[in-house]
Amino acid sequence: MLHCNDSTMVCIIDMSDEFSTVSAFSDLLSTVTQLGEVLRQQGWTVSCAESCTGGGIAYVLTSVAGSSDWFNQSWVTYSNQAKQQRLGVTPSTLNHHGAVSQQTVEQMVNGVVENSGAEVGVSVSGIAGPGGGTKEKPVGTVWFGFSIGGQLYSRCCQFDGDRLSVREQAIHFAIDFLYQRLVAE
């Protein structure tokens, strides 16, 4: 929800509506707090490139006090042009595999790490719906790329529900995966 004060042109974006329940958001913030502690102990920072989540991962990561110690920067690269210009995704990759593919999110996350200098990178590209799906890539298909200390991971998930639900599940998955991998390192 966007609240703007016309007299001062100050806008506040309230993304808490993106999460189905207050307890789900609270649980996610608990995980982010723990994730932040692990990053702080490692002396690492995290940066993101998001498409279908539209900055939601960055929003959640920066929702906890002290995140400036470990959160570096983020890009919302919704268009293919932005993916190419900001992250170095090649036209060939987009033409052959599409924006929602393992190859694309891997190039996105490599661009994130290269451009930010962060030790941890996250990228996400998916089809949140309600349109845009195909037989091969139905609505709810979301690809993730992760770079953790130089190790590359990619995952594909198929989420159910409406647009907001798909986005929420993608945000949860990205943060949970990061936390689990960092604890395992």
For 125, list phi and psi in degrees, rounded to 5: -150, 130
Range of the domain at 110: 20-184
pLDDT tens digit sequence for 86-116: 999 999 999 999 999 999 999 999 999 999 9
> Is 69 part of a structural domain of the chain?
yes
Q: Is residue 163 part of a domain?
A: yes
CATH classification of the domain holding 77 = 3.90.950.20
* Residue 4 within any structural domain of the chain: no
Say yes or no to pLDDT of 120 above 60: yes
- pLDDT at position 25 is 83
For the question of whether the overall pTM of this predicted structure is more than 0.85, the answer is yes
Buried b (16+ CB within 10 A) or exposed e, 87-119: bebeeebbeeebbbbbbbbbbbbbbbbebbebb
User: Does residue 55 lie in a domain region?
Assistant: yes
Run of H or E including 170: helix 163-184
Number of domains in the chain: 1
Q: Within a domain: residue 124?
A: yes
CA distance 146 to 77: 16
